[in-house]
Amino acid sequence: MRVNRLSKVLEKDLGVSPLATMMYINAIRGYAQLGVSLTLGGTGVTPMQDTEDVHVLETALSGRANLLVTANFKDFLCDDTQLIIPQRHAIHIAPNHRFHIVHPYLMMDWLHQGQMPELVQN
């Protein structure tokens, strides 16, 4: 996600004040100037319907996330996902990394149980 896109989402879509948006973006710029590794979006090359979701998925891949928690579960299913529990759990399988895609309700169950399932591939 580019910084100008982030500004639009924060202000127009989420109703964040322009001052708070500017402060947040300045913090991101400050971290970048310090040389901190920061990924705000993917490249958009994974074949998915929603281009914004592609960036989220690719950011999870590039950041080597262990899991992606989303209530927008169905939009993250693609040719590279293995469905484990319909509407609740899938595993994204890329050549060099795998991670869970989990609905928030299931994630809460995992947190309450104190454990997360292994990344298995059928």
* DSSP secondary structure letter of residue 93: E
The verdict on 95 and 69 lying in the same domain is: yes
Question: Does residue 77 form part of some domain?
Answer: yes
The verdict on 103 and 67 lying in the same domain is: yes
Question: Does residue 41 form part of some domain?
Answer: no
Domain residue limits at 108: 51-113
Per-residue pLDDT of the chain (122 residues; tens, 9 = 90+): 456 777 887 788 888 899 988 888 888 777 777 765 555 555 555 667 777 787 788 888 877 888 899 988 888 888 889 999 999 999 999 888 899 999 999 999 999 898 888 886 54
Domains contained in the chain, number = 2
Q: Which residues contact 77 (CB under 8 A, 6 or more apart)?
A: 83, 90, 101
SS3 content of the chain, % helix, strand, coil (to 5): 45, 15, 40
Q: State if pTM tops 0.85.
A: no
